[in-house]
Amino acid sequence: MTETLKLGVIGVGYLGKYHAQKYAAMDNVSLVGVADVDRQTAQKVAETTHCTPFADYKELIDQVDALSVVVPTSLHHLVALDCLAGSRDILIEKPMTTTLAEADELIARADESGRIIQVGHIERYNPAIVAMRNYLTRPRYIESQRTHIFTNRGTDVDVVLDLMIHDIDIILSIVDSELVSLYPMGMTVVTNHTDIANVQLVFANGCRANVTVSRIAENPVRSLRIFQPESAITVDYGSKEIRVIERDKISVGNDLKDDDYLEFCFRDHDALEAELTDFVKNVRNRTKPAASGREGRRALAIALEIMEKIQESEDRSQEGKK
């Protein structure tokens, strides 16, 4: 019989409460407790998931084998460091940290103690993305668009860290080549941070990616299009659909028909459940996550470079107005 694994969740606001619910429903997993600075929030989530609420997350660390860290991004480093100091494995939501120095410290601490860091790049577990990988050959051009209707959630950070980092991580995972240059642009509209951004990524093998994000759009869109010599692939993250048209199905002078496409839909698959199940598996088997601390750091490094260049462009623009 598989030994019961003891789990905890630190931060049970909008997203953290779903982590708690998923763990509570798993076989051979015991959700020991949830921690949140808001005692009422912790109490409410604990009641619905039948575990113990904690106001001090450090008290929870001592009672579990592994934890989800779902606190605001600015607190990721502090809380994760405490978990690793307690020799606990962690799943830390994206972005991993706010700086590369913080990420490096977490990775070094995990390496020293033999602990697992898994970063919550949940789109890797979107079933459409999982299915898409079966049709990848030699991506040459990628278009990614992610737009959200404005809400106050996530506005404590730049839209690049809030949204674009998802797409950066997916693109890095499917292009087997070094990123050699990037050309970003962006602007502040509603918040004190960049709300709309675009970047062109250029890889050493010639592949290019054009990535656009916005959190003040009228309609939500989460799409990915990949063009390669053998085929073109379209992914709709939201509907969990994938469409593939292969080159030999296309002929000049003939219109494409519905049966010329390969289409798949995975609406019944739950990406968060898949992600947390994978984390539990990695903890049990001591296996390296696909989105480990190092993958999380790589996506973070590119996101921070994009933000820095956008800010430099904004500073030059302001100087020109003086």
Decide if pLDDT at 176 tops 80: yes
Residue 50's pLDDT band (cuts 50, 70, 90):
very high
Which helix (H) or strand (E) segment is 172 a member of? helix 165-174
Decide if pLDDT at 214 tops 80: yes
Residue 257's pLDDT band (cuts 50, 70, 90):
low
| Contact present, 89 and 286 (Cβ < 8 Å) | no
More confident residue, 213 or 268: 213
Q: Which tokens in the block code for residue 280? A: 């539990």
pLDDT, one tens digit per residue, over 217-228 is: 888 999 999 999
Decide if pLDDT at 269 tops 60: yes
- For residue 265, the model assigns a pLDDT of 83
Decide if pLDDT at 24 tops 80: yes
Q: What is the average per-residue pLDDT within 177-200?
A: 93
Q: What percent of the chain has pLDDT over 90?
A: 80
Strand ranges in the chain using DSSP code E only, listed in sequence order: 5-10, 29-35, 52-54, 66-69, 89-93, 117-120, 141-147, 179-187, 196-203, 208-214, 221-228, 231-236, 241-246, 261-265
Residue 188's pLDDT band (cuts 50, 70, 90):
confident
- ∠ at Cα 107 (104, 111), nearest 5°? 140
- For residue 319, the model assigns a pLDDT of 67
In DSSP terms, 234 is beta-bridged to: 225, 243
Q: Is the bond preceding 95 in cis, omega lying within 30 degrees of 0? A: yes
- For residue 11, the model assigns a pLDDT of 98
Q: What is the average per-residue pLDDT within 12-37?
A: 97
Q: Give all domains of the chain, ordered by start, each with its CATH number.
A: 5-122+272-301 (3.40.50.720), 124-269+305-310 (3.30.360.10)
User: What's the rounded Cα separation, in Å, for the pair 224 and 189?
Assistant: 25
- For residue 154, the model assigns a pLDDT of 62
User: What's the rounded Cα separation, in Å, for the pair 118 and 139?
Assistant: 26
| Contact present, 212 and 171 (Cβ < 8 Å) | no
**Packing angle of the helix pair 100-113, 293-321 (nearest 10 deg):** 170
- For residue 246, the model assigns a pLDDT of 82
Q: What is the average per-residue pLDDT within 298-310?
A: 96
- For residue 321, the model assigns a pLDDT of 66
Decide if pLDDT at 18 tops 50: yes
Q: What percent of the chain has pLDDT over 70?
A: 92
- For residue 252, the model assigns a pLDDT of 47
- For residue 211, the model assigns a pLDDT of 98
Q: What is the average per-residue pLDDT within 17-41?
A: 97
User: What's the rounded Cα separation, in Å, for the pair 233 and 224?
Assistant: 8
Decide if pLDDT at 173 tops 90: yes
Residue 193's pLDDT band (cuts 50, 70, 90):
confident
